[in-house]
Amino acid sequence: MQFWQPLTFSETDQLVDAARFAEEVGFTGVMIPDHLFFAPKETTPYAGTPDGTLPVTYGGDFPDCWVTLATLAARTTSLKVMSAACILPLHNPIEVAKAAGAVTIFSNNRLLVGIGVGWKKDEFDVLGVDFHTRGRRADEWIDVLRLVWSGKPFKHHGPFFKLDAEPILPAPIKLPPIIVCGSSARALKRAACLADGWHNEANTLEELDPILGNLGRMREEAGRNHIPFEIIVTLCAEPGNLGSAFEPKLEDLTRLEQMGVTALSRHPFPSTLGRPSTLDQKKRSMERFAESIIRYKS
């Protein structure tokens, strides 16, 4: 079992030290999200809570995803870094592929590319990107990412993107895993049929069992159940409510392993410590988790 610490909404001046401490106490990796801005009043509800509101009030830092991941990788030695999640259809796929490819190369293959389709229509509108075709474009963008990372000439003529290109270099020697983030039926299918892993939003243990069973059936039907596949989960206390943070017990981890889960992600610090929180508070939180969970399961 591996363990991840999201750094969502963490204070920017604490990110490097928090990541280095996470590495020191045994976490597998840290996660950084991808958003452009938050509107005073969002036009679309957030899917991770029952009432459509964000699990934490806006007001935290939100540095650029790829710059931050590169910085954290450069200041650590073995810690993995993950975008959780890059809003893939919001961006040009070539730009995402080049940024993620560079982080992969300079981090010595420590990047996982977590992707989602996004829920904030405001972000799509301000960039002039169609919000309603984002799922189909995400599926196509996954193919484009891998073509760019191949380091070979390629032709791609899809419904949303067309390009004939010579090798786009430098190319990573090892393709970074693509992890689909999200708990919708479409996200599960995208993960099963196109990706290298899945990361939920948040579920109770009881919710996960049928979800993972369905995911396994879809992978088998797609002829992909023999391919290595990451399953990274976040647990919550209340069904369908990302805001109800939950810290597992050792017996919970045993149950997760029996379901095929490969990694557990904690909740971001604003959900467990409130906002603001000091670097020392974050360190003590990670240290307690490492002592009670990581050292027993690693």
The stretches of 195-268 forming alpha helices (DSSP H) are: 205-221, 250-259
Q: Where are the beta strands (DSSP E) in the chain?
A: 2-6, 29-32, 80-87, 111-116, 154-157, 162-165, 178-181, 197-199, 230-233, 263-265
pLDDT at position 84: 95
Are the C-beta atoms of residues 29 and 112 closer than 8 Å to each other? yes
pLDDT at position 52: 73
Ranges under pLDDT 70 in the chain? 48, 54-59, 297-298
Q: How far apart are the first and last CA of the chain?
A: 7
pLDDT at position 297: 66
Q: What percent helix, strand, coil does the chain show, rounded to 5?
A: 40, 15, 40
Q: Round to whole Å and give the CA distance between 172 and 186.
A: 29
19 φ, ψ (degrees, to nearest 5): -65, -40
Dig out the tokens for 206 from the structure.
């009881």
Q: Which pLDDT tens digit goes with each residue over 164-185?
A: 999 999 999 999 999 999 999 9
The stretches of 164-278 forming alpha helices (DSSP H) are: 185-194, 205-221, 250-259, 269-272
Q: Round to whole Å and give the CA distance between 111 and 207.
A: 29
Q: Which domains does the chain show, CATH number per domain?
A: 2-297 (3.20.20.30)
- 239: nearest Cα among 210, 272, 205: 205
pLDDT at position 296: 81
pLDDT at position 39: 76
pLDDT at position 44: 80
Q: Is 226 helix (H, G, I), strand (E, B) or coil?
A: coil
